[in-house]
Structure 1
Amino acid sequence: MKKLKFSIIGCGRISYKHIEGLAKNFEEAELVAVCDIVIERANKRSEEYYNLCGIEPLVYNDYRKMLDEVPIDAIAITTESGYHSEISIYCLNLGKHVLVEKPMALSTADAKNMIAAAEQNKVKLAVCHQNRFNLPIKQLREAIDKGRFGKLINGTARILWSRDMSYYKQAPWRGTWEQDGGTLMNQCIHNIDLLQWMMGGEIDTIYAQTGNYIRSIDAEDFGAIIIRFKNKAIGIVEGTACVYPKNLEETLSIFGETGTVCIGGLAVNKIETWQFADELEDEVALTSFKDDDPDTVYGFGHIPLYKDFIDAIIMNKQPLISGKEGIKAMQIILAAYKSQKTGMPIKYEGLEFSTIEMKNSDIR
């Protein structure tokens, strides 16, 4: 079978996980080019891939030039968040499959335009919510699909992390309304995605309070969200970058009339509580599962994420986290920002919003 030819646009902090994801799927895909406006970063990623696979990707600092000169099937976009939609739509309109980092965009309009571009050009669009591939998360989703919780009551996503000012100064786009958003959009979006995926997806109302307490950034360093789902269940999000002196936890907890599950670990990768009324024979083996923590909060999921995306292209099916799935967590956060701005609960249906509308809002 002919290998899919990939490129990566954006060679910053997260891109090494994309190098790893492609390297571990080498039988079906190979990285042929990397691009970054800082050419040294692109050179570094090219060298990393060469060390893993023995192939040295071409290096560019202009993605348009790269796409003109190199035959490419699929592109991973790992730039600053504010450029995701522009670059994605450009690539999709050239007939390229796109895997875009979270958040897929910073406005609902841009995200919908990305989805439309993928559909019009008959290519795949996927969003990097790699924690959906964690084994405990997959087991939790299976339990929900089987109805083991009975009536869902509530779920909580807690992201209690520390990001000091050196983190923001390392990349000045972080924490800005134009290119990033705050803690909810950058640090919390993965767990918010898991929460909405587990709780039923369709949302009625969102209410949020956010604040900027100790980080000198435009956006929030702490946020709390209450989500009322159409199935009457309630989701609660607590997200912060202000924990002293280091990351404390990232946990996802789901509660129903006949089940309680809490998943923790460094990247929601460990079962901490697993209790159901209908105890199964394999329950002991399941609850004794203890995956080692990954080396970073990025977790283990990029390798199966790439496998899923590659399979979607080869088999002409939708990836697990398509554009229509990837937009959901982003919309929740944008609704939370709108709620903070207005001081009111927000009816979710038909919402149109963007981070840039928060630019002149006082969130302190």
Structure 2
Amino acid sequence: MKRYKITTVFLTCLLIVLGLQSHARQAEKGPLRVAVVGTSHGHVPWILNRKNKSDVTLAGVYEPDKELAAKRIKDFKLSGELFYTDLNKMLDQVKPEAVVAFGSVYDHAMVVEVCAPRGIHVMVEKPLATTLAQAKKMEALAKKYKIHLLTNFETSWYPSNAKAYQLVNDSNYVGAIRKVVIHDGHQGPKEIGVGKEFFDFLTDPVLNGGGALMDFGCYGANLMTHLMHGQQPVSVTAVTRQYKPAIYPKVDDDATIIVNYPTAQCVIQASWNWPFSRKDMEIYGETGYVFALDNNNMRLRAKNDKKEHSLVVTSKEIPVYEDPFAYLADVVSGKITVPENGLYSLENNVTVVRILEAAKESAKTGKTVLLNTK
């Protein structure tokens, strides 16, 4: 018995020492070396303007458009030595540990094709890919070369969404999910004044894979896949509209997507025609509902509640990364593990592209698309 206690104490001490050594090695390693591939995305200021952070350092920027590169250098007061017009040269010279892709969605596949064999981790802006074929190829490369391939959604940072997930799946606050309604979008890329380089690929059916359906439909598919713990839908029905063909002649500017599961349904309303920007979600269960109105504000009502009540939640109340690059750094360092079918996860985001591709087919044919998920 004494020998057992001594052994247990010894093992505990050993694990503590190993843990301290691991932290020490990570501290010695320093901040994560990150390179940016493409700067046409309107979200690129998130990384180029990220200052006073010890977890990530900007190692290089690939931008083949010299005029756009000059604009980024000027706007963000960056050294021209950071910028490259040859992607392979940049990767070989600066040797980043991870790459963040801020070009077109179509280019995401190319980024993974170049980075994966080098063992470089990748985080792309939503959605993962323009087609399911692209997504599956990217998934295969990530698994073959054992890299992290993450997809960044703004709604991944919302404490309200994390709290909604907790209430629905941990405490069973509303009972089994029956219907989820998700609204995402804004007045339109032109209407909100996005840059020309961003507008050009957002409104290109190849480079973006579609219009509002791709740009904002992906949020709902991502959140619902997470809420359903990765369960695959059985069918998808979608209707797209073109309310502003003079502005968006090549792509849809409004989409309604109905995603059916054996015991639940999700209605995704994605649009470039909302009167204001919105990212909100309504979850209805057997015995109550949870509304995430924005990143912090919620409305709730459970079975025994006499009336609805409001809740304000922040990252102090529920752990959530409000900075995607901090999340990337902690994943690559091994500090955290990406949850299976979590919002950033590869399996979730392959499913997202599967839903979006089925939605595009449904809108085109006018028929419900049955999904064979075997």
- Quickly name the TM-score band, shorter chain normalised: 0.7 to 0.9
Partner of 1:92 in structure 2? 116
1:208 to 238, 242, 255: 238
Which letter maps to 1:115?
E
CA 1:122 to 1:48, structure 2 compared with 1: closer, same or farther past 3 Å? farther
Residues 1:273 and 2:299 are matched in the alignment: yes
Q: Where does residue 174 of structure 2 map in the other structure? A: 149
Q: CA deviation at 1:271?
A: 2.4
Question: How far apart are residue 303 of structure 1 and its match?
Answer: 4.7
Counterparts of 1:38-57 in structure 2 under 5 Å?
38-45=65-72
Query: For residues 91 and 71 of structure 1, do their structure 2 counterparts lie closer, same or farther at Cα, with a shift above 3 Å needed?
Result: same
Does the CA contact (< 8 Å) of 1:152 and 1:233 recur in 2? Answer: yes
User: Given the alignment of the two structures, is residue 240 of structure 1 paired with residue 235 of structure 2, yes or no?
Assistant: no
* TM-score normalised by the chain length of structure 1: 0.81
Task: Give the gaps of 5 or more residues in structure 2.
Answer: 1-26
The SS at the match of 1:81 is: coil
Distance in 1 (alpha carbons) for counterparts of 2:205 and 2:131: 11
- Quote the residue 1:187 is aligned against: 216
Task: Specify the alignment match of 1:18 in structure 2.
Answer: 47
Structure 1 equivalent of residue 62 of structure 2: 35
- Aligned pairs (5 A) from 1:1-364: 1=27, 2=29, 3-12=31-40, 13-20=42-49, 23=51, 26-45=53-72, 58-146=82-170, 147-159=172-184, 161-163=186-188, 165=190, 170=196, 171-180=199-208, 181-202=210-231, 203-215=233-245, 216-230=248-262, 232-243=263-274, 246-247=275-276, 249-264=278-293, 268-277=294-303, 287-289=311-313, 303-315=322-334, 318-319=337-338, 320=342, 321-350=344-373
Counterpart Cα distance in 1 of 2:234 and 2:361: 15
TM-score by length of 2: 0.79
Which segment is superposed worse, 114-123 or 171-180? 171-180
Tell me how far apart the structure 1 counterparts of residues 204 and 260 of structure 2 sit (CA, whole Å): 28
Structure 2 contact 36–60 (Cα < 8 Å) conserved: yes
Count of residue pairs brought into register by the alignment: 327
RMSD: 2.8
Letter in 2 for 1:179: L
Structure-2 separation of matches of 1:79 and 1:159: 21
Contact kept? 2:321, 2:327, Cα under 8 Å: no
How far apart are 1:261 and its partner, in Å?
1.3
User: Could you list the runs of 5+ residues in structure 1 that have no partner in the other structure?
Assistant: 292-300, 352-364
Equivalent pair of 1:173/1:179 in contact (CA under 8 Å): yes
CA deviation profile, 1:59-105 (whole Å, cap 9, x unmatched): 11221221122121110011011111112221112110101111111
Shift of 1:18: 2.5
Query: Quick check: 1:251–1:263 contact (8 Å CA) kept in 2?
Result: yes
Which is worse superposed, 153-162 or 75-84?
153-162
Aligned-partner SS, 2:234: strand
The 8 Å contact of residues 56 and 326 in structure 2, kept in 1 or not, is answered as no
| Cα distance between partner residues in 1 of 2:57 and 2:36 | 11
C-alpha distance in 2, partners of 1:30/1:49? 15
